[in-house]
Amino acid sequence: MSRTASVLYTLCFFGALCLAPPVFATDDTPGEDAGTETPLRLKLGGNDYETYCASCHGVSGRGDGPVAEFLALTPADLTQLSRKNGGRFPAERVAQIIDGRQDVRIHGTRDMPVWGDWFDVEAESPGLRASEREMVVQERIKALLVYLETIQVK
């Protein structure tokens, strides 16, 4: 992503934060989302999914992206996350896997990129504090969760 694009991306998040502070201030899980933030997150999450995830996990999320055949491990079928968790979307676990920073510290390297680090680098822009960058990272992960929850098979 170009520098301008990434700054725009950051501003887009903080624009949303400014427009809807009560909504974004809550530490909600996707299942409990109600109201205005969901469509915005869904759109951002869908965009990020297409850009960063579909190459391995496939456009449909079934783990059949064009890069999959070159990996040692098969990318997971992301439409089965709820089904494999007794019908409930495991938001917290999925967020940790996507983020990856904690995971990699404990388990070492993995086939999937560490998106927490990647989003942090992308969030870098002049004058933004580390805590604000972290908010951008968390928002992007939340947006991905909202999107992923919509592709779960029943």
Q: Which of 3, 15, 111, 150: binder of ligand HEC (CB under 6 A)?
A: 111
What does the alpha-carbon distance between residue 140 and residue 41 come to, in Å, rounded to a whole number? 8
Kindly list the distances between the CA atom of residue 119 and the CA atoms of 36, 54, 109, 153, in Å, as whole numbers in the listed order: 24, 17, 18, 28
Q: How far is the CB of 19 from ligand HEC (least distance, A)?
A: 25
Q: How far is the CB of 45 from ligand HEC (least distance, A)?
A: 9
Q: Which amino acid is at 127?
A: G
Q: What is the largest CA-CA distance in the chain?
A: 45
Q: Quick one: 16 or 148, whose CB is closer to ligand HEC? A: 148
What does the alpha-carbon distance between residue 7 and residue 18 come to, in Å, rounded to a whole number? 16
Contact criterion met (CB below 8 Å) for 143 and 42: yes
Query: x-or-dash pattern for ligand HEC, window 48-87, by CB under 6 A?
Result: ----xx-xxx---------x---x-x-xx-x--x------
Does 144 bind ligand HEC (CB under 6 A)? Our answer is: yes
For binding to ligand HEC (CB under 6 A), which residues are involved? 52-53, 55-57, 67, 71, 73, 75-76, 78, 81, 94, 97-98, 110-113, 115, 144
